[in-house]
Amino acid sequence: MFNPDTAAGVSSGAATAASRPVGLINRTTLLCLLVAILEGLDLQAAGVAAPKLAPALKLTPQELSWFFSAGTMGLFMGALVGGRLADRFGRKVVLVISVALFGLFTVGTALSQGAETLFLMRLFTGLGLGGTLPNLVALAAENSPPGRGSGSVSLMYCGMPLGGAVVSAVAYFGGVAGGPDSWRVIFYGAGAAPLLVLPLLIWALPDSRQFKAPAEAAVASARPGIPTVLFGGGRAAETLLLWIAFFATLLVLYLLLNWLPTLMIGRGFSKPDAALVQGVLNLAGAFIGAVTGPFLDGPRRLSYTVTVFVGLAVFLVLLSVMPADLTVALAVGAGIGATIITTQATLYAAAPLCYPTSMRGTGVGGAVAAGRLGSVVGPLLGGVLVGAGQSAAQVLFSILPLVAVGGLLAVLLVRRQIRRGGAL
C-alpha cells in the first residue's frame, strides 16, 4: 500500500524532532501565513478595483472579462509549473521567485494604460500567485513538528481569507472612493507589500527539511514524469478524489465570493450591508480555520471533515430562507465563512499526504490547478443561474449537490489516508 514517507525521510524527521517547536506555530508557518495573507489580498484586488478600473480605462465588458480571465489562466499554469520546479530546485527558491513575480506584475497592473497591458500584467501576476500556493503548502507541511503538518497547513491557509478581508476593508473605507485613477492605489499596495517582504523571506525562511534529506534528494534527481507522480505508485485514487473535491468546493467558494453581494441585494439588503456580510464571511473563515486547525492532525480529521461539509450545507440553506435582517445575515454569513474556509483548509491539509516528499510539489500543484478550474466555473455558473432568472434561494439550493459531492469525496479521501496511517 502506498506510503508517502520513505524510511529515510521518517528517520530524518525523528532526528530533528528534538530541535523543532512543539506547537503548530513556528517560523516557517508564520512566514507562510504572512505570504498567504499577501496572496489573498492580491487575489481579490482585481474584483475590488474593477468598478473604478473599467470606466477609468474605458474597458468594454468583454475586455474586463479578459482581465479577470488572465489572472485565472496564470494561476492555473503557475500552480502546475511552480509545483514541478519546486520538486527540482527546492521549495524556498521557487516561492521567492513566485512572490517576486506577483509583486512586480501587480505594480505593473497599477501602471497599465490599456486593455492589452492589463491582460499581460494580470497573466504574469497569476503565474506568480499560482506558483506560490503549492510551495506554501509544502513548506508548512514539511517544516512542521512531527504529526502536526495538517494543522500547520490549515493555519497557513487562513491567511488567504484574511488578505481578502483586508483589501475589502480598504475599498469599503475609501481606498477606491476617490477620482478615476484611485483604483491604482489597490494594486500599488497589493504589489508593494510582497516586494517589501522578499528580503525577510530570503533571510529568515528555512527551506524544506524533508526535501533536503539525502535520500529524498536522490529520489528527486530521477524526476519521474508528471503522470507517474500523479497516478503511479497507487496514487491514482487519491489524486482523483482530491481533484474532484477541490473542483467542487472551489466552484462553490468562488461562486459565493463573486455573487453573494448580488444575491444579498436581491434579498432586499443594501450594498453596504451586503459588503459587510461578505467581510464577516472572510474574517470568520480565517478565525475559525486557525482555531480548529489542530483537529486536522490525527484520527479527528474524519469527524472534522464531516462536520464542516455538513455545516456548510446547513448554512447555505439558512442563507436561502433567512429574513432580510442584518443581524441574522451577519450570523449566517459568519457560519458560511467558518465552514467554507475550513472545507478548503481540510483539502489543502490532505493534499501533501497524497504524495511522497520528492514529488509533493508536483502533486500539490496539480491539485491547486484542479481547484482553479472550479474557481473559473463557479462565477460563470452563478452568471448562468442569475441570468436564467433564478432567485437567490434557487441559486443557493442549486449548489447544494456540489457541496454534497465535494464532502463525500473529501470524507473518502481522509478515510483512506487515516486507514493507511498517512501523517506529516
Cα 176 from chain centroid?
25
Task: Judge whether 385 lies within some domain.
Answer: yes
Task: Judge whether 41 lies within some domain.
Answer: yes
Evaluate whether 95 touches 43 at the Cβ level (below 8 Å). no
The DSSP-derived string for 256-315 is HHHHHHHHHHHTT--HHHHHHHHHHHHHHHHHHHHHHGGGGSSTHHHHHHHHHHHHHHHH
Q: Give me the tens of pLDDT residue by residue for the chain, a chain 424 residues long.
A: 444 443 333 333 333 333 344 455 788 989 999 999 999 988 888 877 877 788 888 888 778 778 888 888 899 899 989 988 998 888 999 999 999 999 999 999 999 888 889 999 999 999 999 999 999 999 998 888 777 788 888 889 888 888 888 877 776 665 455 666 778 888 998 999 999 999 999 999 988 877 766 545 545 555 667 777 788 888 899 999 999 999 999 999 888 877 777 778 777 888 778 778 888 888 898 888 888 887 888 778 899 999 999 999 999 999 888 888 889 999 999 999 999 999 998 999 899 999 888 888 889 999 999 998 888 888 788 878 878 888 878 888 889 999 999 999 999 999 998 887 765 5
Residue range(s) defining the domain that contains residue 154: 16-419
Task: Judge whether 383 lies within some domain.
Answer: yes
Q: How many domains does the chain have?
A: 1
- CATH number for the domain that contains residue 385: 1.20.1250.20
The number of residues in the chain equals 424
338, 333, 337, 339: which is closest to 318 by C-alpha?
333
DSSP-H helix ranges across 143-158: 149-157
Task: Judge whether 58 lies within some domain.
Answer: yes
Task: Judge whether 77 lies within some domain.
Answer: yes
Cα 22 from chain centroid?
26
Cα 78 from chain centroid?
13
Q: Which residue has the cell 502536526?
A: 148
Task: Judge whether 3 lies within some domain.
Answer: no
Task: Judge whether 181 lies within some domain.
Answer: yes
Enter the pTM of the model.
0.81
